[in-house]
Amino acid sequence: MPNQSPLHFSLRQLSSALHTKKISSVELTQMYLERIAVHNSTLNVYITTNAEMSLAQARHADARLAKNNSHALPVISNLTGIPIAQKDIFCAKDWRTTCGSKMLENFIAPYDAHVIQQFNEAGAVNLGKTNMDEFAMGSSNETSYFGAVKNPWNHDVVPGGSSGGSAAAVAARLCAAATGTDTGGSIRQPAALCGISGIKPTYGVVSRYGMIAFASSLDQAGPMARSAEDLALMLNTMAGFDERDSTSLQRPPENYLRDIDAKQSSSSQPLSGLRIGLPQEFFADGLSDDVAQAVAAAIVEYQKLGATVVNISLPNSKLSIPVYYVIAPAEASSNLSRFDGVRYGYRAKEYSDLTDMYQKSRAQGFGAEVKRRIMIGTYVLSHGYYDAYYVQAQKIRRLIAQDFDHAFKQCDVIMGPTTPSTAFKLGEKGDDPVQMYLSDIYTIAVNLAGLPGMSIPAGFGKNKLPIGLQIIGNYFSEAQMLNVAHCYQQATDWHVRIPPNIINDRGL
């Protein structure tokens, strides 16, 4: 291990250290809690931490690890004892679960989301709930009721959104790994802007049960970590059928480390035969020169690893943003109708009657971006506009999926930029929603088609901020994608770069 601080260990290295008793889960958890105490006031990464609950889980994990030698139950896993940050969109029993909103500012979840349940059964430690755009609506983490998250690479720029808190936590070494959700790029975009790895699985691979809904046909949970190998370990725990989620896919269990762990030949070209598709639409106007150069350099590296390049076209991808901003708000307007001040969540203090309570509670409880999307969604679903907007958007959505079907007959994976530029300054796009929406121009089509997509670090821009390479696969090709990313990360070191001044001599 080149650096002996656990802060730099991969998940496998941490697991080995815990199993061999070189460090305890309590010690590791306490280390992260101390770092959070030092850095969170600056970065605003966590909305909620609870040292008592986290350390109780760590003690339980240590007890499970101690029983390992006697083969006593419960069975331990690769994540037993490892501190994981959870995006504050997942309900976790007895934890405050806010979804980055005033509406749920004081909501204590009475049950665990499926994802949280999976980590609990694996013996992982819940380190805290990370900051996010309000109800996952945003691309910069500036819409959070709890304030903007700062990018660890430069505190004057955004970390991306909506999973910006999770991305910044991983980059700043304030957790070993984290969970995120991706509705139109909200795992991949912040992963790119914070210089970490993140994957959105095929729609339905990870259960949405207990994940507070934004747009139900688009939302998908996924892991965020430093490397593709770490993502595979996380996804092994997160994925799986859940009968409580009607969109959860019933498939045989899959080992996402399969291709990574397969015996690699001694060849210097481990990806020989891989066909990489480059969509011409991803390299047109709007892409900054430094991002284009970094992506081009990454493609050259892949060619050295044995891959070949195929030029492809996704002609309807240019329509993905208008389609998304019809479908997603429509679904959001329906999902958020439950927040009415009656059963749970924020209720206005003064009102004259039931209707007034509804109006004031929602007016005061929702932020500007959430209100904007509710109004758009209600409009496109209203009589006289449903056929003109919503139905047409669904038709184009099918055309976008068909473009990908055609492309994957010519290539194995698709690559391109994750974002059109590096991280922009805080407040820079706050007054121009359309410019903010364009931040997701390369990611949204993947959600509309239900495909898996990921982002991995691929260099730095002229402003010394991270750049992400996006990898898109066909349905259920996550194991292949993770291996494709892993081979690149074995040949480069972008994924191990650390933000400057993030760790001092005492490891804090």
Domain boundary among 364, 394, 424: 394
Average pLDDT of the residues of the chain: 95
Full-model pTM: 0.96
Same domain, 256 and 327: no
- The per-residue pLDDT for range 83-129, each reduced to its tens digit, is 999 999 999 999 999 999 999 999 999 999 999 999 999 999 999 99
The one catalytic residue among 15, 54, 139, 186: 186
Domain boundary among 345, 360, 394: 394
- The per-residue pLDDT for range 402-415, each reduced to its tens digit, is 999 999 999 999 99
Task: Establish whether 87 is a catalytic residue.
Answer: yes
How far apart are alpha carbons 66 and 19 in whole angstroms?
8
- The pLDDT of residue 73 is above 50: no
pLDDT at 69: 54
Same domain, 264 and 328: no
432 in any annotated domain:
no
pLDDT at 2: 42
The one catalytic residue among 162, 163, 421, 477: 162
The angle at the Cα of 132, spanning 188 to 472, to the nearest 5 degrees, equals 10
pLDDT at 72: 47
DSSP 8-class letter at 388: I
The one catalytic residue among 15, 77, 87, 166: 87
Spatial CA neighbour of 114 closest among 205, 53, 184, 217 = 205
Task: Establish whether 197 is a catalytic residue.
Answer: no
Task: Establish whether 272 is a catalytic residue.
Answer: no
473 in any annotated domain:
no
- The pLDDT of residue 76 is above 80: no
Mean pLDDT value across residues 197-221: 98
Give the number of other Cβ atoms within 10 Å of residue 471's Cβ: 28
431 in any annotated domain:
no
Same domain, 381 and 488: no
How far apart are alpha carbons 98 and 102 in whole angstroms?
7
Spatial CA neighbour of 397 closest among 445, 437, 453 = 445
Domain boundary among 394, 426, 454: 394
The CATH number given to whatever domain includes residue 130 is 3.90.1300.10
pLDDT at 266: 60
Residues 6+ apart with CB under 8 A from 183: 136, 162, 214, 215, 218, 219, 220, 328, 447
How far apart are alpha carbons 490 and 84 in whole angstroms?
24
Mean pLDDT value across residues 385-399: 97
Same domain, 239 and 388: no
198 in any annotated domain:
yes
How far apart are alpha carbons 442 and 321 in whole angstroms?
9
pLDDT at 265: 57
Domain containing 367 equals: 321-394
The angle at the Cα of 183, spanning 180 to 186, to the nearest 5 degrees, equals 50
